[in-house]
Chain A
């Protein structure tokens, strides 16, 4: 049924349809609407789940870990500083191989205090072993959340569904909300491969000596390496059931493109418009949307380009002392390729600044007009400010 939902409520609907058993969360703008709605669903009996009110994000993840250890399908949601506060336990949930699903609403890190969108919060967690899936619109948020439980429970790794603050979290769009029966057919009840059981006591997460630790880390990586394949298989089933699929990366009009805009999140939607307009004017523009950031889909990306193309990577994030994080990742996977395209790096839209069609077209033009990329990222649309205190 088509409903008009904000992005946050697309998450809540998906969590309800996924028959999550335990939700533990601490509210933070702009994530609050997700858990607010879920708490109402639990209170009203629309969900048969235990909603745990905790005193912090650290505890939210701690409780989620405990619930998942007990074999429950578990969900939480957070944003920005809340995610940073969870950091230690993000490592823990991966090491313990727990299929926790979390919605992460991209919000800038302070100070200066800022509640608007920026990807640096989730990208700062790239080495924690969480699968990260970035979404473009409300429908993709709902579909990805439902699929995330399948993926997490298949590979025994936690999954983060990432959506932009306000542009997506608080924007109402038509979303096709599937029937419970069809979701049940796609997503069977969680059948854990291991769980804490008082009838069969065991210690989990105990001391591991150097002789075994490396094997366990390697084991996590093997699971990570299986993710793209599993993701495709799950998407195939999802497509069969619901008629929609997204892919870890999406290429649009790339085959003959001279400049390919590489984007993620809600900038993708704007960029589709810009690339379409440019094509209408005879420009050879293309678009690549990166949905899966962890594991980084190296094979799909290497196969997508030819050496003569230019890539214009638009990063709504920044790693101080280096550059845009998507650009770094892209360069890293392309470096070993025999022939590789040139990568132009742009920083835009930090802290919720609008990335308009004009911004993207500027980036396109700059890329088209230059032969070789600059060493450093190019910051777009900077205002002139007094640099002193």
Chain B
């Protein structure tokens, strides 16, 4: 009865076997979606222009070697920077608007350590030799970086270092509790594996410059600021030089100290000296001429110093040092602010108060450094010169490029690495396209119309096609990201004595690192989420090699793919009539 009843029920519905492919619904379209990768704010802020969103994306899939290679395309020192970089990327991170910024710094440290422990090789990035030789003076971060990138571009490099070991500020200026020796050694070794010959104990005097000019195609000057600036006050000879102190510590001389140690200065060196002193048993007191907010040291370092018990006296200047009963009597003049200088720091003058006498056991100076002055860029006034953001290109008999602290406004390791990279690009451009092409080639190699230069963009890889538009938080579809707090490894409490200089800073486990990387929005780059294809109501998006394609025969321009793109890659453009 059931079957019988069923067969009798009328059922007339609209159904057709004719293909709908004949309906070219694309004709209705007046806006067209497209895939256009853009620039992430972290990358645009990174001095070396690391492709951070791609590193995040690759690392989130557990592909650590590929993530490492992505760093190495822009920076020969992932592990060094994973320890000492001031990571402006994290301040720029769009994720901070949702919960907290991605811990890029710790991620880089994890990837950098993996690169060392797994023995990854960067030689795949090397291009064939072009037969040209470049001399590099100074084996600090800018010199090492210049040599690395020049080797990548096919140049043969000789690197000259006056001290007995390479590394410059990385080796002699940064205490081991911030940058372990093994990290530095391994990453310098990798630069040598690129074919760079490092000649230690080789001081380049002005007399040897002529010899270099006869034997090399180009010269990079990155010998840095190795000589401390002096205060010029009576009794200064009783103060110890902060840079020498740091150097002695790196050489393994770790004297037990006690009493109050006044540290004059407000830069990173003053902080490093103070934090080293407290580890050796002294009570450091930083004396700085301006206010705390004006200190040129990175605020993370200042805060770490304060946390460890370093004290800071603001707006005071030493005017005299005298010996008194085996102690040092430091006479200080209090200062007051009168407006700002052109860099935005307070301008200070002595106030009307009488000088203060401070009884201390040690005085260290760390008020800045200057170059040893082999050749100075300004002395080459008659040559054709191009001042660049991180270096100075000059043309005498051969191209001579000055970089690192000699030219950089910001004296950070990352900016020094950027300087070496810029010099390498400038030299390469000079030999391939001539002097006049340098400015333009470097200009188009910038990340997001900002200062950072990208070697990947310079080499015109696929990433060169990215739009300079910097992705903002409003470009991200945050429906695809849930609130997940940032997780960073806990820091080890400060130890004292010799031990404190041997501590290994904590690092993500692979699982933690992958988890942290998966918090990345991948601003402006396609992360293969496939939303555009899945959501397309016209089945117009298809997967092709290297990405996706939109079939404009059927795309109505509804924009759903654009709305559902989590990373701001897709955009809509009005059709031109």
Given known A-B contacts A203-B20, A233-B1, A237-B1, A154 and B6 have beta carbons under 8 A apart: yes
Q: How close is B387's CB to chain A, nearest CB, in angstroms?
A: 58
B20 to chain A: closest residue by CB? A203
Looking at chain B, what size class is its interface with the partner chain?
Answer: 10 to 19
Q: Which residues of B contact A97 (CB under 8 A)?
A: 11, 13
Question: B12 touching A219 by the CB < 8 A rule?
Answer: yes
Q: Which residues of B contact A287 (CB under 8 A)?
A: none
Complex: A32 Cα to B237 Cα, angstroms:
85
Is B15 close to A, CB under 8 A?
yes
Question: B5 touching A229 by the CB < 8 A rule?
Answer: yes
**Residue from A201, A208, A233, A234 within 8 A of B14 (CB atoms):** A208
Q: Which residues of A contact B17 (CB under 8 A)?
A: 201-203
Question: A154 touching B18 by the CB < 8 A rule?
Answer: no
Complex: A226 Cα to B18 Cα, angstroms:
32
Complex: A202 Cα to B18 Cα, angstroms:
7
Is B9 close to A, CB under 8 A?
yes
Complex: A206 Cα to B2 Cα, angstroms:
31
**Residue from A194, A204, A233 within 8 A of B5 (CB atoms):** A233
Q: Which residues of B contact A233 (CB under 8 A)?
A: 1-2, 5
Is A223 close to B, CB under 8 A?
yes
Question: B14 touching A206 by the CB < 8 A rule?
Answer: yes
Is B252 close to A, CB under 8 A?
no
Given known A-B contacts A233-B1, A233-B2, A206 and B8 have beta carbons under 8 A apart: no
Within 8 A of B (CB), among A181-215: 193-194, 201-208, 212, 215
Q: How close is B6's CB to chain A, nearest CB, in angstroms?
A: 5
Q: Which residues of B contact A292 (CB under 8 A)?
A: none
Complex: A202 Cα to B17 Cα, angstroms:
5
Q: How close is B202's CB to chain A, nearest CB, in angstroms?
A: 71
Is A216 close to B, CB under 8 A?
yes
Q: Which residues of A contact B12 (CB under 8 A)?
A: 215-216, 219
**Residue from B1, B5, B6, B11 within 8 A of A219 (CB atoms):** B11
Is A156 close to B, CB under 8 A?
yes
Complex: A226 Cα to B8 Cα, angstroms:
9
Question: B9 touching A155 by the CB < 8 A rule?
Answer: yes
Is A222 close to B, CB under 8 A?
yes
Q: Which residues of B contact A203 (CB under 8 A)?
A: 14-18, 20
Q: Which residues of B contact A95 (CB under 8 A)?
A: 13
B8 to chain A: closest residue by CB? A226
Q: Which residues of A contact B6 (CB under 8 A)?
A: 153-154, 193
Is B577 close to A, CB under 8 A?
no
B4 to chain A: closest residue by CB? A233
Q: Which residues of A contact B13 (CB under 8 A)?
A: 95-97, 194, 204-205, 216
Q: Which residues of A contact B14 (CB under 8 A)?
A: 203-208, 212, 216
Q: Which residues of A contact B18 (CB under 8 A)?
A: 203
Complex: A216 Cα to B15 Cα, angstroms:
12
**Mask: chain A, 208-242; 1 = CB below 8 Å from B; 0 = not:** 10001001100100110010011001101100000
Q: Which residues of A contact B11 (CB under 8 A)?
A: 97, 156, 193-194, 219, 223
Q: How close is A219's CB to chain B, nearest CB, in angstroms?
A: 4
Complex: A222 Cα to B16 Cα, angstroms:
22
Complex: A96 Cα to B13 Cα, angstroms:
7
Question: B5 touching A222 by the CB < 8 A rule?
Answer: no
Q: How close is B21's CB to chain A, nearest CB, in angstroms?
A: 11
Q: Which residues of B contact A237 (CB under 8 A)?
A: 1-2
Complex: A24 Cα to B17 Cα, angstroms:
29
Question: B15 touching A154 by the CB < 8 A rule?
Answer: no
Is B342 close to A, CB under 8 A?
no
Is B339 close to A, CB under 8 A?
no
Q: Which residues of B contact A194 (CB under 8 A)?
A: 11, 13, 15
Question: B10 touching A202 by the CB < 8 A rule?
Answer: no
Question: A222 touching B10 by the CB < 8 A rule?
Answer: yes
Number of A interface residues at 8 Å Cβ cutoff, please give it. Answer: 31
Q: Which residues of A contact B10 (CB under 8 A)?
A: 219, 222-223, 226
Complex: A201 Cα to B20 Cα, angstroms:
11
Q: Which residues of A contact B5 (CB under 8 A)?
A: 154, 226, 229-230, 233
Complex: A203 Cα to B21 Cα, angstroms:
11
Complex: A167 Cα to B202 Cα, angstroms:
97
**Mask: chain B, 6-35; 1 = CB below 8 Å from A; 0 = not:** 101111111111111000000000000000
Complex: A212 Cα to B15 Cα, angstroms:
12
Question: A223 touching B9 by the CB < 8 A rule?
Answer: yes
Q: How close is A195's CB to chain B, nearest CB, in angstroms?
A: 11
Q: How close is B98's CB to chain A, nearest CB, in angstroms?
A: 21
**Mask: chain A, 148-169; 1 = CB below 8 Å from B; 0 = not:** 0010011110000000000000
Question: B9 touching A156 by the CB < 8 A rule?
Answer: yes
Complex: A150 Cα to B20 Cα, angstroms:
34
A204 to chain B: closest residue by CB? B15
Complex: A150 Cα to B5 Cα, angstroms:
11
Question: B9 touching A226 by the CB < 8 A rule?
Answer: yes
Complex: A296 Cα to B2 Cα, angstroms:
22
Q: Which residues of B contact A236 (CB under 8 A)?
A: 1
Q: Which residues of B contact A216 (CB under 8 A)?
A: 12-14
Question: B1 touching A206 by the CB < 8 A rule?
Answer: no
Q: How close is A34's CB to chain B, nearest CB, in angstroms?
A: 27
Complex: A207 Cα to B5 Cα, angstroms:
30
Complex: A153 Cα to B2 Cα, angstroms:
11
A155 to chain B: closest residue by CB? B9
Q: How close is B364's CB to chain A, nearest CB, in angstroms?
A: 65
Q: Which residues of A contact B15 (CB under 8 A)?
A: 194, 202-204, 206
A186 to chain B: closest residue by CB? B2
Q: Which residues of B contact A96 (CB under 8 A)?
A: 13
B13 to chain A: closest residue by CB? A97
Q: Which residues of B contact A153 (CB under 8 A)?
A: 6
Q: Which residues of B contact A226 (CB under 8 A)?
A: 5, 8-10
Q: How close is B352's CB to chain A, nearest CB, in angstroms?
A: 71
Question: B2 touching A202 by the CB < 8 A rule?
Answer: no
Q: How close is A183's CB to chain B, nearest CB, in angstroms?
A: 15
Complex: A193 Cα to B3 Cα, angstroms:
12
Q: How close is A14's CB to chain B, nearest CB, in angstroms?
A: 19
Q: Which residues of B contact A205 (CB under 8 A)?
A: 13-14
Complex: A41 Cα to B81 Cα, angstroms:
54
22 pairs, A vs B, C-beta closer than 8 Å: A150-B2, A154-B5, A155-B9, A193-B6, A201-B17, A203-B14, A203-B16, A205-B13, A206-B14, A206-B15, A208-B14, A216-B12, A216-B14, A222-B10, A223-B9, A226-B5, A226-B9, A226-B10, A230-B5, A230-B9, A233-B2, A236-B1
Residues of chain B touching chain A, judged by Cβ–Cβ distance below 8 Å, are 1-2, 5-6, 8-20
16 additional A-B pairs beyond A193-B11, A222-B9, A222-B10, beta carbons within 8 Å, are A95-B13, A97-B11, A154-B5, A154-B6, A154-B9, A203-B14, A206-B16, A208-B14, A212-B14, A216-B12, A223-B10, A223-B11, A226-B9, A229-B5, A233-B2, A234-B2
Closest 7 CB pairs of A and B: A219-B12, A222-B10, A219-B10, A208-B14, A203-B16, A155-B9, A154-B6
